[in-house]
Structure 1
Amino acid sequence: MDITEDAEYVFYVNGNDKVQLSLGGKLLINAENAPGMFKASCITTLSKGRYPLRLELLHSTARLELTLIIYCSRSGIDNW
């Protein structure tokens, strides 16, 4: 994942399966014990640069539903 500016970032995952989301080797979201549908989020500060992003499905169901949204907070803007 290319980060073009220093800022706070929100990682949001919504789905019906067990997932882990990591960035740069750091576990951000661990929804391993989430029964049924779940929502999980994490806020982290990142510096400009390139980070490996990994989204791991732990126990795939027959009908996978998964959403990953990444928000960036920019200086001078109140809304995400």
Structure 2
Amino acid sequence: MKKTILFFALFAALPAMAETKAESKKAANDPNRVICRTEQSTGSRLATQKRCLTAQQWADQKLIDRQVVERAQGGGWKNGGQ
């Protein structure tokens, strides 16, 4: 009897669990969700800083960092041999 009740309780909870997974996928793709990361401070092994930005701001920062590195490395190949 207990197994039957437990089975029906789990069966009734399946739609709710499916909705939760769908909602979490939507939240993962939301560019306005806030993501916090801990970053080490330069010059110290112990000091850290917590930065909280939106997903879009993190993506923008990643693009800017990549551009800075490319400029520092010479900007890659250029046409005309200049």
Q: TM-score range by the shorter chain?
A: under 0.3
TM-score for both structures, normalised by structure 2: 0.20
> Which one has more relative contact order, counting CA pairs under 8 Å at least 6 apart?
1
TM-score for both structures, normalised by structure 1: 0.21
Structure having the larger proportion of residues in helix: 2
